[in-house]
Chain A
């Protein structure tokens, strides 16, 4: 080791250089921060907070605790062997009788997820409990509705006592809690999500694949043509961007339906018989065809901008060194276009996996994707917890894919230009 210890470098006025540097950089840092402040707040309030709140709903189960606080307190004492004690019946009775109609109504929706029947039971009870003046309450409640003597109903409350729940996530992958809070599979006819997840991935991968197959040659042409032709071609590629998504989707409906343009042409040219028209609309095929067309520009643009940077001299050099055009393309051009391929595939896949409008309009029953279920629960069943769980799983899957991709290809290999 060197004997003289080297102290921090000082500026001429004796202040350590690092301090001095920080001071001089501070102004720039503040300036940079001020420039992004408006956007930061905008994103915070319109994106991060709402999304965070939404994601919390996927595990949140606290509302019902606020409606039946005493009951749940009493419930924890129950041994779950026999019917609950008079005390539990009594607290339940008063919290139902005295609770507001609105909060009870909202709570029953949640209770119904745990055990269907709760909703009608509580509705009926709320109405009839008015006539009961004093105890013992247990027998009187069972007289009003014998479901009050059903252990299954009482056990189902156990699933809801915790203010957080994994129930929505279980639901999103075709599982649920049984009354004993064990995880079991949904009934055969209610297993829909796993199937939809698989379908969503399949459609997204196929759309990505077709976009790549169709987009690569056109991007190559765009990148190698002289400017005056490539500009024209670029407009053709971008034209769909300037047309409304709905208009384009409806145009496809006209094109692809059984009595549509495409089938008519085939029949007219005697390629297929009139009774053998292709079923191209309201199924998965339609979803794939239309989504490929809609997402194609998102593949072409990154591909084009990367290919534009590949010097034509690379191909020339490869030819000059003796490689056949095909070999030169495979060994030299393709590896250099990988960053564009990656970017395009990522973009198309991410957009495709959450797609909603197109499958909704052209997908029929067979072409529905996970986005359609999210929309359905958001708007129709109002089961926002399940929506949030489905959304969170989507987000999680994409994050995992991104991580895997980064390990395999390296994120620095993504290039948009």
Chain B
């Protein structure tokens, strides 16, 4: 492990590689036939996806009763998974848009992949609102459209805001991602040998000719889109948190939720991106592009957001006590000491305690350790949503209606299946598109830009 001098700006790409070699390296996975490992990985994710399909088939055929949801606990794994995946989808746009606006060059190595994960995570998340309803064939009714019944959607429902927020976020993220891909499509078109590939890349490159004008327009569009996407990063999870905050159930009805949810989302998103990127840089030999320095920076963000989340947990307790509302106070004591205390303490251990290890530089820069911690964070953030959704519902106002929730095998099939869905897309992505932005990486290699130092 090298000694890092934080007083100097670190090179984003290590070792000053020739620009052509970067092109070759990044384009390589797209140009060689998938190997055995890829197929093994794909078969694993497809098997998980198969569980998803079976779980959904059972649910659609028999009803939501196949899940563990019961009378007080109307939402459980379904909404937990939804919020979890929306949260995962937060890192991408944050990295590509907000860090772009802040001129954080280290983002270039990871931005493309993080954005891709955003798209897939939001796709996964979007499945849950569609499947959690009792009559999924009527999902279309959640969209406002003029109809012969003269019935409109209910614009006061946070669930409807969700529909708009998440679909907007998905659309903007997708456009942003695609715009960023255009120069790379151009490069790929030039490199493509097969006729079929050439047609596809030509089509998607939208006539990109690397001209100065194109670059100029491209940079402007990218900047505008980044500006456009930035508020969305904050708004999506804010609105998702409204699902809870706007309700009147103790443990849900909390004004701290919007910032707390956003911080949590960034936290979990970074953890997931870090996890996947560690695998990617290893498999595709991108260690010098996705450097330990970059990973360390991500860990720092996790440390910050993890601490914010920890602060929120503490503040929730304080406010619950300070409010003097018995039901509210009880809900929080019940989380820590009640029947779901196990879930609460898993959450606290994973989310509050484990990221604190990142204060130690050695840990922050050790790839295996940070990998484990990020997994902990992901687990913890899933449990955070579980704690919020399930414990609040299971013991609300009237003690007579309290009940314990236990998930069924179908719940687990769908949970595992959602990972299958997500990772299948990730695998296909690594074989279909450059997982690192060729254009941007080349721009940040040491010496690629005109410098004043020599003059």
| Chain B binds chain A | no
Q: Which residues of B contact A (CB under 8 A)?
A: none
Q: Which residues of A contact B (CB under 8 A)?
A: none
